Amino acid sequence: MSDADRATLYVRLGGYDGVSAVAENLLPRLIGDEQLGRFWAHRGTDGLLREKQLLIDFLCHCAGGPLYYTGRDMTTAHRGMRISESDWLRFSGHLKATLDHFDVPEAERGEVLAFIESTKAEIVEEL
């Protein structure tokens, strides 16, 4: 097995800088979306910055990086937000567009999408 085969997803995505760049690209897409923007409509700048950092920490940690995620679990963090299947599909479209923007290779793209999909049951509410 080569070193590349043993490298964590975190390393293959470009480490902290790579994951951070994805968050920097993805969040404005979500915030600017006519359907999803409601989730950020009344957030102050410091709240948005904190949320972005928690997202980066979560993604880095889950991808095998050295960061420790100190935020709430996905169920607690999203409870009561009334995130629907339609919201999830729009989010997924923006995530795919972000991965396209960075030309994320197919293997890593598949791993990212599979991981994100694994969180869906904790985030989407039956309305």
pLDDT at 5: 56
Number of H helices, E strands in the chain: 8, 0
Buried b (16+ CB within 10 A) or exposed e, 72-104: eeeeeebeeeebeeebbebbeebbeebbeeeeb
The third-level CATH classification (topology) of the domain covering 3-123 is Globin-like (1.10.490)
- pTM (predicted TM-score): 0.90
73 pLDDT higher than 90:
yes
pLDDT at 6: 78
Q: Tell me the C-alpha distance between 111 and 118, whole Å.
A: 11
Mean pLDDT, the chain, as a whole number?
A: 93
Give the domain ranges of the chain. 3-123
